[in-house]
Structure 1
Amino acid sequence: MRDMRLATLPVAVAALFGFGVFAFLQIAEEVSEAELGQFDRWLLLAFRTPGDMADPIGPPWLEEFMIELTALGGYPLLTLIVLAVAGFLVVSERYGPALYTILSIVLGTSLSHGLKLLYDRPRPDLVEQLVSVQTPSFPSGHASMSAVVYLTLATVIIRFVDSMAVRAYVLVVALLLTLGIGVSRVYLGVHWPSDVAAGWAFGVSWACLAWLVVTGLRAWRQGPSGS
């Protein structure tokens, strides 16, 4: 049973990668053709008090919570987390996972930023933005990089544990962080919902691709000795 799960895992990850790429391209096409404008406006306004576009729904503590939550997807904090984890892996003499972590996240960050410059979509001006932003809007960097970073770190942690319960817990936490950070960007008025959806699609597909590449290289290196 365990061998069957191991054999089907790359297929499932490859399918998820393909779905992520397809979803991103579809969203990007519809954004370029302005086909998501009505949906974007409707969902963005759903997070604001009717009649007051400067006031997000919910009590004051919810706004403060969302501002703190969105910081978990910012480059400064993500950089510190990645460096801390990579440093732990290095001092533990796990050089392969450390290199995998750094390369996957640095390359994913670079590509995400490049896509922002390529599409150059303006930030929402429909509601007041509750945090300061300067970069283009599409895809959401917080959504994409939280998916890249937290899912990549989750796959690294999962490698060192055998318990399925622990693996499921780590993966669920990574997914919840990614989802929460993305929602916070819409709540704070700094992204259209389609920006966030595209960011999630990019981040998930990139994390899957990185895992597939490393898994393939590991299998190729172990092939001759195992035959």
Structure 2
Amino acid sequence: MSMVRPSLTIAAVLILLVILLGLAVGAGWTQAVDLQISQTLALRTGESGPAFIAFMQWASWIGGGAPRWIIVVLLCGLVWHWCGPRCAVALGGASLLSNLASSLMKLGFGRARPDVINHLDHVSSASYPSGHATSAAVVYLLLAWLAPPRWRAAAWTLAATMIILNGFSRIMLGVHWASDIVGGTMLGIAFALLGVWWVRRGRA
């Protein structure tokens, strides 16, 4: 059991950090840095051609809306094949619970979306934390943790790529501040760790 406790502790610390960052965001402490990053990245996207914008929209697509749930269902089948039904339940459950947590925090913090450029993706909720960043982190990190040894290096590479691409895309499409991405990523990591804890607990 000692092997599973650090996952719970780190997850709890990360969730606390997400809340503290949300309070800092509400107090305006991140505004200057957020604005500078958005002006650098989002304005560049606005000046780019349609091919680059389409690529950023694809990178954003992997973390939200119906495509996210299609990906989750497919990956649940994959991890079921790799390590059994408990792994599939961990991936599906962590994805659902992290999405719920993100939605509740959005309601609680009520942060406005950036207005640096016209939004290049459809949005209908508050800004902090990023639900796309949360989903990308929880899904792909859990996939990497649950992958069999021979696929683990590739799975970690995929996870890092998807998380970074998705995060940058949300800023470059003008729909999120950088601190939204940081908060969402930390929240996703926390729920991925909870999924790992639940799988390891069953094995223990």
Global fold match (TM > 0.5): yes
What TM-score bracket applies, with the shorter chain setting the length?
0.7 to 0.9
Q: Distance in 1 between matches of 2:49 and 2:9?
A: 41
Does 2:109 match 1:119?
yes
Q: Distance in 2 between matches of 1:92 and 1:180?
A: 26
- Which AA in structure 2 matches 1:30? A
Residue 53 of structure 2 aligns to a residue whose secondary structure is helix
How far does residue 191 in structure 1 lie from its aligned partner after superposition? Answer: 0.5
| 1:184 aligned residue (169, 185, 188) | 169
- TM-score, length-scaled by structure 2: 0.86
Asked whether the 8 Å contact 1:69–1:184 carries over to 2, the reply is yes
Larger radius of gyration: 1
- Which AA in structure 1 matches 2:90? Y
* Unmatched tracts of structure 2, length 5 or more: none
How far does residue 22 in structure 1 lie from its aligned partner after superposition? Answer: 4.7
Could you list the per-position Cα deviations for residues 172-214 of structure 1 after superposition, in whole angstroms to 9, with x for gaps in the alignment? 2112101110110000000111111110111111111221233
How far does residue 98 in structure 1 lie from its aligned partner after superposition? Answer: 2.2
Match of 1:94 in 2: 84
Asked whether the 8 Å contact 2:43–2:116 carries over to 1, the reply is no
Match of 1:133 in 2: 123
**Compared CA separation, residues 58 and 11, structure 1 to 2 (3 A):** farther
Q: Report 1:1-227 matches (<5 A).
A: 10=4, 13=7, 16-17=10-11, 20-49=14-43, 56-87=46-77, 94-156=84-146, 158=147, 161-163=148-150, 166-219=151-204
**Compared CA separation, residues 104 and 186, structure 1 to 2 (3 A):** same
* Unmatched tracts of structure 1, length 5 or more: 1-6, 220-227
Q: Distance in 2 between matches of 1:182 and 1:91?
A: 29
Q: What is the alpha-carbon root mean square deviation over aligned residues?
A: 2.6
Q: Distance in 2 between matches of 1:175 and 1:205?
A: 16
Q: Percent identity?
A: 27
- TM-score, length-scaled by structure 1: 0.78
